[in-house]
Amino acid sequence: MTMQMHNPPHPGEIIRELCLEPLELSVTEAAEGLGVSRKTLSAILNGHAGISPEMALRLSMAFDTTPESWLNQQTQYDLWTAKRAKKKLRVKKLCAA
């Protein structure tokens, strides 16, 4: 059982702080290196888009990480975000009493 992180950062923040900044890469340079458009990478870095399986592969190849690590970060962020909105969900129990 994994522990749920409290307020996990969006993976875009991790990319910016741990990958781009230490290498002094601009968004344009990083996008070119990843083989994606600047707009695509910018959306991820700004938290407007998530990490897809393909992007996870690209990041793992570029930064010598695992694609699973990127997808896990995205899942943790998405689940935390969904749990914050849990009270708005209208769901009935469907299991036997």
Residue 87 — pLDDT band, cuts 50, 70, 90? confident
How confident is the model at residue 96, as a pLDDT?
83
**Strand (E) or helix (H) holding 74:** helix 67-84
Mind listing the pLDDT tens digit for each residue in 21-60? 999 999 999 999 999 999 999 999 999 999 999 999 999 9
The position carrying tokens 């409290």 is 6
Phi, psi of 24 (to 5 degrees): 55, 45
The chain-wide mean pLDDT, for the chain, equals 93
- Exposed, middle or buried: residue 80 (CB in 10 Å: 0-12, 13-18, 19+)? middle
Q: What is the pLDDT of residue 6?
A: 79
For domain 11-86, give the CATH number: 1.10.260.40
pTM tops 0.75:
yes
Residue 1's pLDDT is 47
Tell me the CA end-to-end span of the chain in Å, nearest whole number: 25
- Residue spans per domain, the chain: 11-86
Q: Cα 64 from chain centroid?
A: 16
